[in-house]
């Protein structure tokens, strides 16, 4: 959310600058281009920020996959599934009493918006501390 506000402020600033650009055509075109790019990036962020009700984490040494974060809606049930593809790992979210060692599934309903840590709860080796992704509740 903070990022979105900053982006909105940034765009507002660019529009203001472009409007005051006056005689210098090149400068205002550049500013408009930048504003367009920023708008596109905002769209991308909105798409990747779509909420989900199911989270599938497939573990390898030492990663939960490509995603750094999953966004879910407050008040909606979330099903989280963990599968070990390589090594032995687990997942835990302290705030929602999720604690799966090895393969398994859990459901919970996050009530409070915020950011929570999904982490590996099995000491799996030297990359263990990297096995963290963020659960974003909006
Ligand atoms: Cu681990």
Residue 36: phi and psi, rounded to 5, are: -60, -45
> What is the mean pLDDT for each group of 10 consecutive residues in the chain (138 residues)?
50 48 52 54 50 97 96 98 98 98 98 98 97 98
Per-domain residue ranges of the chain: 2-48, 54-137
Q: How far is the CA of 117 from the centre of ligand 1 (A)?
A: 14
CA angle 34, 40, 43 (to 5 degrees): 145
Q: Does domain 54-137 have CATH number 2.60.40.420?
A: yes
Q: How far is the CA of 62 from the centre of ligand 1 (A)?
A: 7
- Nearest Cα to 102, choosing from 116, 115, 91? 91
Q: What is the pLDDT of residue 15?
A: 45
Q: What is the pLDDT of residue 31?
A: 55
pTM over 0.75: no
Q: How far is the CA of 91 from the centre of ligand 1 (A)?
A: 8
Distance CA 16, CA 39 (A): 15
Q: What is the pLDDT of residue 45?
A: 42
Q: How far is the CA of 42 from the centre of ligand 1 (A)?
A: 34
Residue 122: phi and psi, rounded to 5, are: -120, 125
Q: What is the pLDDT of residue 50?
A: 87
């Amino acid at each position: 959310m903070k990022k979105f506000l900053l982006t909105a402020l940034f765009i507002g600033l660019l529009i203001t600058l472009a409007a005051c650009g006056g005689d210098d055509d090149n400068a205002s075109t550049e500013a408009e281009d930048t504003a367009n790019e920023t708008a596109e990036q905002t769209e991308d962020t909105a798409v990747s920020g779509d909420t989900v009700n199911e989270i599938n984490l497939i573990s390898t040494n030492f990663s939960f996959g490509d995603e750094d974060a999953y966004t879910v809606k407050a008040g909606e049930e979330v099903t989280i599934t963990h599968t070990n593809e390589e090594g032995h790992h687990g997942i835990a979210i302290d705030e929602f009493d999720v604690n799966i060692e090895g393969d398994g599934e859990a459901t919970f309903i996050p009530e409070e918006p915020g950011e929570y840590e999904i982490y590996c709860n099995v000491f799996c080796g030297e990359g263990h501390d990297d096995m963290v992704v963020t659960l974003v509740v909006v």
